[in-house]
């Protein structure tokens, strides 16, 4: 039978696709100032593909297998830079998980997030301050790794930091990605990838309590 954690992964995949449908227009608008305006569409395509792959997985699939299938579908179907980064990094993070696990042990959560973040850094080659999704993800990862609170609290506090850091990217000028040629038009607006990262990390915090 499916583990409790696998059932949660299936629920999260559906909820996150729904969240991205709700935020699609806004994410497209903030990507249009200096980028190509497709971030909302890309996140919807990616999360819907992930959800579909997870829905179609065998009933007995564990959390690691589900996330691997979801990540692969996301990378393939999203199109765009963020989709490849999200999908491939989810697949990498999935490798740290145990298919038989019934719940998310706190240290396993931090380990999976660290693997996810490392993959984002390695694949994208960006640094903090380049106005990318790393500007919310890396402070989140650090806060989660350093927290002494229980996992639900630690995750929620780290997610609040991620959201704040995404807002703080508004003052920055992009050094990576499609927004770079028109970089100055991006100033005054938050980075789309950092913004969707904050949204998804916040949503994920609702499954731990």
3-state SS track over 19-47: HHHHHHHHHHHHHHCCCCCCHHHHHHHHH
Per CB under 6 A, the segment of 7-15, 60-68, 80-88, 143-151 that binds ligand ADP is 80-88
Backbone angles phi, psi at 55, to 5 degrees: -60, -35
CB nearer ligand ADP, residue 17 or residue 151: 17
- Here the tokens at position 24 are 């699609």
Site string for ligand ADP, 97-136 (x = CB under 6 A): -----------------------x---xxx-----xxx--
The candidate with the shortest Cα–Cα distance to 163, out of 140, 144, 131, is 140
Per CB under 6 A, the segment of 8-16, 36-44, 57-65, 198-206 that binds ligand ADP is 36-44
Cα–Cα distance for residue pair 33/35, rounded to 1 Å: 6
Query: Closest separation between CB of residue 31 and Mg ion, Å?
Result: 5
Query: Closest separation between CB of residue 57 and ligand ADP, Å?
Result: 25
39 lines the binding site for ligand ADP (CB under 6 A): yes
Residue 166's Cβ-count burial label (10 Å; 0-12, 13-18, 19+) is buried
80 lines the binding site for Mg ion (CB under 5 A): yes
Query: Closest separation between CB of residue 152 and ligand ADP, Å?
Result: 27
Taking CB under 6 A as the criterion, the residue among 177, 198, 201, 205 binding ligand ADP is: 177
Q: How many residues bind ligand ADP (CB under 6 A)?
A: 25
How many other CB atoms are there within 10 angstroms of residue 98's CB atom?
Answer: 13
Q: Are 173 and 187 in contact (CB under 8 A)?
A: yes
Grouping H, G, I as helix, E, B as strand and the rest as coil, residue 209 is coil
Kindly list the residues in this chain that would bind ligand ADP in the complex (CB under 6 A). Answer: 31, 35-36, 38-39, 42, 80-83, 85, 120, 124-126, 132-134, 176-178, 191-194
């Amino acid at each position: 039978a499916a583990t409790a954690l696998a059932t949660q992964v299936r629920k999260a995949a559906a909820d996150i696709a729904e969240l991205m449908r709700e935020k699609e227009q806004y994410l497209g608008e903030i990507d249009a100032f200096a980028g190509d305006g497709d971030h909302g569409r890309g996140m919807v395509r990616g999360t819907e593909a992930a959800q579909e792959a997870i829905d179609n997985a065998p009933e007995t699939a564990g959390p690691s297998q589900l996330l691997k299938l979801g990540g692969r579908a996301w990378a393939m179907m999203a199109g765009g830079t963020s989709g490849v980064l999200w999908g491939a990094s989810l697949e990498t993070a999935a490798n740290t998980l145990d298919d038989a696990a019934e719940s998310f042990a706190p240290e396993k959560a931090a380990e999976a997030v660290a693997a996810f973040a490392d993959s984002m850094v390695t694949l994208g080659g960006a640094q903090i301050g380049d106005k990318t999704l790393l500007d919310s993800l890396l402070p989140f990862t650090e806060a989660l790794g350093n927290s002494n609170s229980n996992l639900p609290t630690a995750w929620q506090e780290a997610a609040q930091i991620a959201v704040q850091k995404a807002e703080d990217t508004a003052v920055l000028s992009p050094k990576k990605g499609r927004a770079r040629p028109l970089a100055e038009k991006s100033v005054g607006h938050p980075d789309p990838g950092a913004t969707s990262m904050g949204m998804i990390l916040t949503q994920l915090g609702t499954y731990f309590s």
